[in-house]
Structure 1
Amino acid sequence: MSDVAARIVEQTSARLLAVGAWHLKVADLAATLHISKKTIYQHFPTKDALLARVFQRYQQQAWVEHQQFQRAPTAAEELHLLLRWFKEQHLALPPGFMPELRHAAPALYELWQQYQATRLVPFLERNLQRGQAEGTYRPLDAPVLSRWYLAQVNLVMHDQLASGISPARQHKVLAEHFLRGILRPAFSTYAKSPSTLLNNA
């Protein structure tokens, strides 16, 4: 990717997070970058193509992080990193971002759904299986639980779970509920101690 294209993608990503999908205009991007709209369209033939490249970049960066999570010494620590990542991703978004994205940029929203299905669900499944093998998690249904947890995260990110309650608080309660459900009683301190997973997630 050329330097100009990289600058366009970088600015589009920042602008998308700042104003949301509805208010993301190619003319505004061009003005900010001090280039013409024609230059942008020379690199990305449509706005959807530009947004797809933005998400591809995001996906690559996220997957590098997730692979680093897998190096954690235990499944519980790996899970802590992922739960904290979910919260940080959500808190970086402006209010109403995901519902707006779903309607204003359905192609981009579909890419996010695909990323969850192909990357995040398998990641959670592997973590649950790892924790069971290590003896810290209960012998529960990993495919069902991984999808259930992501469904709950999506409710929070779509502002559908508890209107008026901060996303940070919702993620904390969701993480607590999930951890208490999967951990064996002997390892329940992971969900209670201020120095462990939950309060840092």
Structure 2
Amino acid sequence: MPARPEELSRAPVAAPLADPPARIVRAARAHLFVHGYSTWTMDDLAAELGMSKKTLYQHFPTKEDLGRAALEQFAAEVRAEADAIIADRNLTFAEKLRGFTGGMHQRLSQLAPHILRDLQRSAPALHDFTFEMRRKNVPYIFGRLLEQGQLTGKVRPELDAPFAAEFLLHAMQGIMSPASLEHLHLAPHQAFEKAMSLYFGGLLTPAGRKDYEKSFPG
């Protein structure tokens, strides 16, 4: 029995607790996504994990290194999830679209609204890194989704898929900026949901739009 899209959108199973780097990254990611970069220290994290500061610094020499590892983990999970959904031949295009966007909505809902602004102020290099992650993932993932949609007659055939994916990248880079989110009074997951509705609403064929409306009621 094929997996449902919502099952595919679940985060991958965490690494074993015995793996110190994995434990450290998970704990740092939880702090980063919920409270922000500026609210925790490496010393606090070592105490929380019950390990010496020496052990923590052996794996991650700086707080910025650890923050980058947490963001890289997030991006890798998104890409792996997309690969699994896109490769599943038992799913329709609408189910793949629902599975991926639903998973992204779930992941982004873990981000408190102030997180990106906090990164921009406290760790500008990491804030810039979020742009780099989108630059790699958005064209790769949505380019493949659009091409599959065209092959199944759900996305307009005259569409230049690579251009449309690049267009989405630049739109997402702008809409996910702290200034835009604050101006629109939106959390990251809300902005993503609105962007997907607007984007695919203009790219789908009548048949694709019918399937889309069934998969995304309301």
TM bin (shorter chain): 0.7 to 0.9
Q: Where does residue 30 of structure 2 map in the other structure? A: 14
Mapping for residues 1-201 of structure 1, pairs under 5 Å: 3-70=19-86, 71=88, 73-138=91-156, 139-159=158-178, 160=180, 163-164=184-185, 170-192=191-213, 196-199=214-217
2:176·2:191 contact (CA, 8 Å) conserved in 1?
Answer: no
Q: Distance in 2 between matches of 1:20 and 1:142?
A: 36
Deviation at 1:154, TM superposition (A): 4.0
Q: Provide Cα deviations, 1:153-195, integer angstroms capped at 9, x if missing partner.
A: 4444335155335665544433222222111123321343xxx
Contact 2:37 / 2:118 at 8 angstroms: preserved in 1?
yes
Residue 175 to residue 37, structure 1, CA distance change in 2 (3 Å): same
Give the conservation status (yes or no) of the 8 Å contact 1:75–1:128: no
TM-score, structure 2 as length reference? 0.76
Determine the C-alpha separation between the residues in 2 that align with 1:51 and 1:44: 9
Percent of pairs identical after alignment?
28
Listed as ranges, the gaps of 5+ residues in structure 2 are 1-14
CA 1:128–1:97 in structure 2 vs 1: closer, same or farther (change >3 Å)? same
The CA RMSD over aligned residues, in Å, is 2.7
Contact kept in structure 2, 1:96 and 1:158, CA below 8 Å: no
Q: 2:3: which partner in 1? A: none
Question: Displacement of 1:12 after TM fit?
Answer: 0.9
- Cα deviation, residue 94, structure 1: 0.7
- Structure 1 segments unaligned to the other structure (5+ residues): none
Contact 2:68/2:126 (<8 A) preserved: yes
The verdict on how the C-alpha distance between 1:42 and 1:111 changes in structure 2, with shifts beyond 3 A counting, is: same
Distance 1:188 1:5, change over 3 A: closer
> Would the alpha carbon gap of residues 120 and 129 (structure 1) be closer, same or farther in structure 2, given more than 3 Å must change?
same
Paired letter, 1:120? V
TM-score (norm 1): 0.81
Structure 2 Cα separation of the partners of residues 44 and 172 of structure 1:
34
How has the CA–CA distance of structure 1 residues 191 and 56 changed in structure 2, closer, same or farther, with 3 Å as cutoff? Answer: closer
Residues 168 and 4 (structure 1), Cα distance of their counterparts in 2 relative to 1, 3 Å cut: closer
How far, CA to CA, are the matches of 1:142 and 1:3 in structure 2?
41
Query: Contact 1:20–1:101 (CA<8 Å) still a contact in 2?
Result: yes
**What SS is found at the alignment partner of 2:37?**
coil
Aligned length: 197
Flag the structure with more relative contact order, 1 or 2, with Cα contacts below 8 A and sequence separation at least 6.
2
Change in Cα spacing, 1:170 to 1:135, as seen in structure 2 (3 Å) is same
- C-alpha change, 1:140 and 1:67, in structure 2 (3 Å) is same
Instruction: Say if 1:55 and 1:105 are closer, same or farther in 2 by CA, change over 3 A.
Output: same
Structure 1 Cα separation of the partners of residues 209 and 34 of structure 2:
39
- Would you say the 8 A contact 2:64–2:126 is kept in 1? yes
